[in-house]
Amino acid sequence: MDDDDFDEILAATRRFVRDVVVPRESEIADGDAVPADIRAQAMQMGLFGYAIPQRWGGLGLTVAQDVELAMELGYTALAVRSMFGTNNGIAGQVLVGFGTAEQQSRWLGPMAAGEVVASFALTEPGAGSNPSGLRTRAVRDGAGWVISGQKRWITNAPVADPRTRTPVNNTIIVAVVISILAGFVPLNYLADMVSIGTLVAFIVVSVAVIILRVREPDLPRGFKVPLYPLTPILSVLACGYILFSLPWYTWLAFSGWVFVVLVFYFAWGRHHSALNGGGAGVIGSPR
Ligand SMILES: Cc1cc2nc3c(=O)[nH]c(=O)nc-3n(C[C@H](O)[C@H](O)[C@H](O)COP(=O)(O)OP(=O)(O)OC[C@H]3O[C@@H](n4cnc5c(N)ncnc54)[C@H](O)[C@@H]3O)c2cc1C
């Protein structure tokens, strides 16, 4: 990365560390966790992928720049650097240097964006400095692997969960609620309600794709909507057409639900927004 861009990153990181993180060090220590808004801001700034090459959406810092950035981050609670340290270092560099092309294209983009947190799991109760003492085994089982063994002191292991990458709790709650409703509400009515919610969600996502392409053209994108802007526009038109063929009582019930949900979001989200951190600017954009 050239010196001018790096100076900007260094300055933004200094502001982030000193203006946002330092005043909240006690909160981090007392809660034994980095608050969600600080995490979201680090994601926006590209800190989850500062040492990952730019072709995978990282900032692509050189080793010397990495060291300078580490000195800025070292000014505050080390838990903050640990949050993205494994993505950039101990885990990320293994993939950059030694991963297969498939592993690199699958993981490095989401890691650079902070959507995935990676760990490097070497240490075991009987194997620290001496890796030849490793006892963990991976055995082929059909198309997958069975891994058995014990690990310890693995940074970010509690949040590095490659099994789901989906909001599991929400999915379970929705499945339970829908199953109960299916026992009491006529199925065609339930199907209409699900359809209207899904169609509106498709429209919101399609419009968001257009807005984000205009407002954030350089955002790292692991997946790009093909034939933009034709696809999102067609999606809005097609979903809108089907929406207006749904019966009036579906619209009425849906409006009621939307009202309740909006009240909930505005009442709760006001104080729990992960993105409403304020403070340091996003790298590469004016504050
Ligand atoms: C905060 C933190 C985060 C960590 N994160 C990770 C992680 O993400 N992933 C991971 O895999 N591990 C992680 N570790 C584990 C760390 O890498 C291990 O502590 C390290 O591998 C050393 O192992 P050990 O503590 O079992 O020490 P041991 O291997 O038992 O060594 C004990 C002491 O003996 C010395 N020693 C060992 N062998 C020899 C030798 N042959 N000759 C001379 N001296 C020797 C060592 O230098 C050390 O001083 C983390 C540890 C900490 C404290």
Q: Express each pLDDT in 210-262 by its tens digit.
A: 999 999 887 767 678 899 999 999 999 999 999 999 999 899 999 999 999 89
Last residue of a domain, one of 74, 91, 113: 113
Average pLDDT over residues 255-283: 70
Instruction: Tell me, in angstroms, the distance from the centre of ligand 1 to residue 152's CA.
Output: 11
Instruction: Tell me, in angstroms, the distance from the centre of ligand 1 to residue 130's CA.
Output: 8
Average pLDDT over residues 121-149: 90
Closest atom of ligand 1 to 86 CA is 8
Which tokens go with 153?
Answer: 């002191």
Are residues 7 and 106 both part of a single domain? Answer: yes
Q: Flag whether 143 is in a domain.
A: no
Q: Express each pLDDT in 140-192 by its tens digit.
A: 988 888 989 999 999 988 887 656 667 778 889 989 988 898 898 888 888 88
To test the pocket of ligand 1, the residue of 78, 129, 135, 159 to mutate (highest count of ligand atoms within 8 Å of its CB) is 129
Q: Flag whether 24 is in a domain.
A: yes
Closest atom of ligand 1 to 130 CA is 29
- Tokens 């963990």 sit at which residue? 136
Q: Flag whether 96 is in a domain.
A: yes
- Which CATH number is 49's domain given? 1.10.540.10
Which tokens go with 86?
Answer: 């494994």
Q: What is the count of structural domains for the chain?
A: 2
Are residues 97 and 196 both part of a single domain? Answer: no
Q: Which one is predicted more confidently, 18 or 268?
A: 18
Instruction: Tell me, in angstroms, the distance from the centre of ligand 1 to residue 117's CA.
Output: 22
pLDDT number for residue 255: 94
Burial class (CB in 10 A: 0-12, 13-18, 19+), 86: buried
Q: Flag whether 263 is in a domain.
A: no
Instruction: Supply the range of the domain harboring residue 209.
Output: 168-246
137-141 and 144-148 strand pairing: antiparallel
Are residues 105 and 173 both part of a single domain? Answer: no
CA distance 113 to 220: 7
pLDDT number for residue 188: 87
Are residues 102 and 26 both part of a single domain? Answer: yes
CA 57 vs CA 48, 94, 97, 169, 259: distances in Å = 10, 17, 16, 29, 38
For the CA atoms of the chain, what is the radius of gyration? Answer: 23
- Is the torsion defined by CA of 73, 50, 90, 85 positive or negative? positive
Q: Express each pLDDT in 40-79 by its tens digit.
A: 999 999 999 999 999 999 999 999 999 999 999 999 999 9
Q: Flag whether 66 is in a domain.
A: yes
